[in-house]
A and B are shown apart, each in its own frame.
Chain A
């Protein structure tokens, strides 16, 4: 039951989520049969926040049901309750018509609920089959398991070799391991948490075929995403969460991405504006950057060349695990380049220097991992300003910290970049992903860098925060900063970058103006085709 539907919301459901539009019932679903999973008035509070507020949701067999909402809307909390990771404060969960208590993930799997998490939990040094065996409650002998893995992967177009080591696999393949692990238990409900965020467009299409096939066999699928185009292409129904409440349910095939975005955000989405730019002077030059992998699981970078000029945004696309992390580390100086001329900032060779010196020369970085790399989780925001601000912002005098100045700056950043938190004394770990990312980007921007390297700047961030981050990058470029964005989100790169290059297995394609590429071409480059062939294919 939704209380107090917001007045401006046309799509608000007032009497349970089923009312607005009846999706066509799949044929496997006899009339009057109980839904596979039914949630009634699920509520869950954390200190200071109602993560789920009386949420009703039902998923039928043979249905792909989208759960969409901004980050922090309560999607993760809800699926964690369904998967037994969290327990609800109130509400009823019914599985095939019977009320159940799901006390743990093991209990969830026993019922027939499988979940593929956004972040995989795989052991790099073990084989595919060993990893799957570890994740099963009762795996049986490994040879029989190999057989079953091969069967399942053939049946659902999930090619996997059971005896390969995980360390050599692409992210897409790793995801397949997680999916196969779930499918081995013949789940009645499969939960997919942002599954396409790590895939190339082509890989995503294959995943959708697999999911449709599962649906046709009667499996219920809960598909969590904030990519609305995908939801429209794949899902039969969508439930939209906002601030912990179910605000709407709709048939995504009858909506536009815009109308769903509006339901999700509660207002029209803001599109970041970019004024035209002129390339300024050369700020960053990467010359023949070659860095051998630090260990067996790292990608070696080979012969990377790129120039960045003031005022431009250059995007580096690529499927995760193709050297993005290594490139970012080689640019920040966490890993030093073997040659000093390999990284040149403002005509100063800094390849052999660490992060401190590179920052002094005018670089700033937004790292891929927000918590634990970009911010110290158990320190408050003022202390986190110091993490990279200690060099350029006058926060340190004679080796002693000027905490008041750091607090003032933290307050400035939270105000200027709309970081929502309970004050600058909040620990970084308590901020939502989007807010923490706005804080980190703000912290780097207030240092007025000449070069900003941003890795995955909007990964897992809600669309409002993403728009704000893109706008901040545009504004920074307008002031003459050269910006390099390394991202797996192709839509983002197409939107914000002036030039684009693709990273594949540690090699970088040439950078060309973004408008000269089509999505398909980039997809091919991401898959390892060289640009000449990609051109021919199009």
Chain B
């Protein structure tokens, strides 16, 4: 008989081992899935996980795709630590992109080192403004941020569609729903010539460091952790829940907005109706895969970015449907949440037989 037995304390080993275990289980069931779809499992896994990073261009693409995931993941993790469930990072990303992008377009042709910092500030403030709405609704009307932040994502998408069809549309763009391309001063500097990797990745690394310091070593971060893990203790200690909700939502919004600006001022190069393949949602997986720890999120972001690239690669070389990427990420999240039980429980195999006293 296989039994689950409660541990006295949360296992420290499992904290690190369980994401790896989840990964292994994902790979195994992914291979089975490929087999069932009629692909050679080993070949498919190779295309998924190895082939994308065999070239330096591939690695640059990997880091590029990981950048928004890491940025948003760190921001969301701060909120999730406090049980503030912002799942609308996608919307905050879009608003950040519109706000920062609009500044870049307004300053079109201005050749100054200040253009990009202004756009970045715009992106951050845009994301924060969008996240402030659920914060306000939560603190004043006790409306669940889970619902409001998600619903605002769709509003943000429509706003973007309106913007690129209206005020921000390129007048010389043959009526395509797109803005002008950003000029050089309004574009992210490249890190590697010949690739699309830009300075945003360095920013993501800095955010990982700052995020770690905030969560683990600062008093506000401690308040966030206490609020999430024992709300009653937080009230007892005098930590304000209102402050925590505002702080965490604004942090999440700021980083999502920043990621959005990096996307449009980086690889996309202009405002278009669709600027993110769902980074804001995927970052939720990244945050949990990284155990809500910034360093974990760094690795998780790289891994999930690899699954994006791998999906594309498998699509190209094996004619695998694109949906497989989504299934793969779903499997990963599923196993990740599943193996979490091992943090607090251990598996015992064997049967307990009543034994006579000796």
Contact = CB atoms under 8 A, between A and B. Distances in A.
B4 to A, nearest CB: 12
A387 interface: yes
Given A386-B222, A390-B219, A427-B9, A87 B352 contact: yes
Contacts of B38: none
B220 A372 contact: no
A427 B222 contact: no
Most chain A CB within 10 A, of B218, B220, B355, B358, is at B355
Interface stretch (B55-63, B223-231, B318-326): B223-231
Interface string B1-35: 00000011110000000000000000000000000
A390 B225 CA distance: 14
A99 B225 contact: no
B341 to A, nearest CB: 15
Contact of A403 (B217, B229, B240): B217
Interface residues of A, number: 52
B237 A387 contact: yes
Interface string B196-236: 00000000000000000100011110100110011011011
A169 interface: no
A93 B235 CA distance: 45
Contact of B232 (A48, A355, A373, A430): A373
Contacts of A355: 235-238
Most chain A CB within 10 A, of B8, B9, B238, B352, is at B238
Contacts of B37: none
B113 interface: no
Given A47-B8, A401-B217, A403-B217, A373 B236 contact: yes
Interface residues of B, number: 27
Nearest to B352: A87
Interface stretch (A233-241, A315-323, A377-385): A377-385
A401 B218 contact: yes
A529 interface: no
A362 interface: no
Given A367-B236, A430-B9, A91 B230 contact: no
Contacts of B230: 372-373, 375-377
Contacts of A48: 8
A374 B218 contact: no
A378 B219 contact: no
30 contacts: A1-B357, A41-B358, A47-B8, A56-B357, A87-B352, A90-B354, A90-B355, A91-B354, A92-B357, A334-B235, A354-B238, A356-B237, A367-B236, A372-B233, A373-B232, A373-B233, A376-B229, A378-B10, A379-B229, A387-B236, A387-B237, A388-B236, A388-B237, A399-B218, A399-B219, A399-B220, A401-B217, A427-B9, A430-B8, A430-B9
Interface of A: 1, 40-41, 46-49, 54, 56, 87-93, 99, 101, 332-334, 354-359, 365, 367, 369, 372-379, 383, 386-388, 390, 396, 399-401, 403, 426-427, 429-430
